[in-house]
Chain A
């Protein structure tokens, strides 16, 4: 029943996304234009760590933009009626999973666009598999934190401003971990070398999801 509700919610979210194609395309355009502005100001970045840091900052801001709307329509009457039919915990898990899939798609798009526009030397040793793990784990923690915090911020009038100030301080540590982890992947690290990053990031992700799962019912229809 619980899993069924989550699957149903995912379908529902996807359906809305398909109906409102302008939203997803606006986010993609946002990413492309941000990266283009960066490429106009840098073109080539000699140091890979700066290149990597810039990439993560772009990811952070585009995901903040993308996820800020996840609870935007929640206060409309129709939405409140729909939400009476399901378990709040299924709702938050469904939203987290949906936002995770969305952010992984967005991050992959931004990685290709970023690689296309901004060159850097020293990617020869890069371990692409490990970099992918870093990106997936990092964007999981960014998207799940942002989902929960956007549920909190949606109760105020100034949604995106409040979302940033509430979420960024909580995000700084996992962002730092992800940046260090992906730097290691660029330098050609192996899975054994980065075991502690994988363990820490997975634990943090698990913790964020558990906390959201426990706390969301209190935000429920408030």
Chain B
């Protein structure tokens, strides 16, 4: 009974991480329309083939498709014909004048309703700010409220990486803060057991940094490099302020390890590396706060990109993102407590 009281957080970590893995690998992405061909329409009748992802068009009687702009339905799709599960053909009759050349596609079926912004462009029209609905669309009530992960343009399936990449950095910062805290505690007491915690926290922090770099690198490769008209990069590494911050952090703590290894006497090692740890950690935090303010970033929440919580994280993602963060942090702390116990025992054996 006593052990449950003491170790409940380890069980919590396991439960949260199992939930995270199960959710992020098993829950499907929401059905949506990914592309239209042709995507640029002209005045008059246009036959368009829409290509969906995770859709089931076959044998679905209740499908309505429309083009809209600024919450006004402008063109209703006619002669809707299912080709297969993921393809559907539709006719759009584009009038001479519309409020915008760029149009959003809204689709409603008996299984899902989807909204694909800026999917279709209409050329050859004159833009006028007529704000009335041009047609009435029959919105089918997709009553089935299925659990799914949002399907975003550009991100596609890689959105699942959110539960792994972002918590790695959160965990690393928490673990490095623990290291900083115990370095201060060591300088106040000169008790070697605090130095062991500070040292092992850096090792675990570096592990999480490596995992964060690997997951981030893979994510960057498959999202940022695809859109070459926006970003000029095609590689695993981009020149971005957050990546520079990550690189600086990793370099600082690798340097910390080298400093420790180049000192001989145990207490000298502990004292000098604690001084460097405090010096570097405070400066690193200041830089990580200042740097994104003076330069642009590809990451959400910097340089004009919307932050988490605006619309990147919808309620479904929140449901698993926050547990994931807590789970990974608890795992990091758990690893640290194991290391601490191991090295305390080793210390005891050496002294006996």
B272 & A165 in contact (Cβ 8 Å cutoff): no
Find residues 270-301 in chain B having any chain A CB closer than 8 Å to their own CB: 271-272, 274-276, 278-280, 282-284, 286-287, 290-291, 293-295
B272 & A215 in contact (Cβ 8 Å cutoff): no
A156 & B286 in contact (Cβ 8 Å cutoff): no
Q: Which residues of A contact B255 (CB under 8 A)?
A: 165-166, 169
A222 & B272 in contact (Cβ 8 Å cutoff): yes
Q: How many residues on B have C-beta within 8 angstroms of the other chain's C-beta atoms?
A: 29
Is A117 interfacial (CB-CB < 8 Å)? Answer: no
Is B252 interfacial (CB-CB < 8 Å)? Answer: yes
Q: Which residues of A contact B187 (CB under 8 A)?
A: 218
Is B134 interfacial (CB-CB < 8 Å)? Answer: no
Q: A85 to chain B: closest CB distance in Å? A: 23
Q: Which residues of A contact B262 (CB under 8 A)?
A: 156-158, 162
Is B248 interfacial (CB-CB < 8 Å)? Answer: yes
Is B259 interfacial (CB-CB < 8 Å)? Answer: yes
Q: How many residues on A have C-beta within 8 angstroms of the other chain's C-beta atoms?
A: 34
B252 & A156 in contact (Cβ 8 Å cutoff): no
A152 & B294 in contact (Cβ 8 Å cutoff): no
Is B214 interfacial (CB-CB < 8 Å)? Answer: no
Interface-lining segment among A28-36, A47-55, A67-75, A204-212: A204-212
A156 & B259 in contact (Cβ 8 Å cutoff): yes
Interface-lining segment among A97-105, A128-136, A171-179: A171-179
Q: Which residues of A contact B280 (CB under 8 A)?
A: 169-170
A136 to B290, alpha carbons, bound, how many Å? 20
Q: Which residues of B contact A176 (CB under 8 A)?
A: 244, 291
A207 to B120, alpha carbons, bound, how many Å? 53
Q: Which residues of A contact B232 (CB under 8 A)?
A: none
Is B268 interfacial (CB-CB < 8 Å)? Answer: yes
Residue on B nearest A201 in the bound complex, by CB: B290
Q: Which residues of A contact B286 (CB under 8 A)?
A: 203-204, 207
Query: 0/1 per residue, B89-124, Cβ < 8 Å to A?
Result: 000000000000000000000000000000000000
A166 & B259 in contact (Cβ 8 Å cutoff): yes
Residue on A nearest B267 in the bound complex, by CB: A222
B272 & A211 in contact (Cβ 8 Å cutoff): no
Q: Which residues of A contact B290 (CB under 8 A)?
A: 173, 177, 200, 204
Is B251 interfacial (CB-CB < 8 Å)? Answer: yes
Q: Given A169-B251, A172-B244, A218-B274, check contact A211 B282 (CB 8 Å).
A: yes
Q: A152-B272, A204-B290, A222-B271 given. 6 additional CB < 8 A pairs?
A: A156-B262, A173-B287, A177-B290, A180-B294, A207-B283, A219-B271
Sorted from nearest, which 6 A-B pairs have the closest CB atoms? Answer: A169-B251, A173-B287, A156-B262, A169-B252, A165-B255, A215-B275
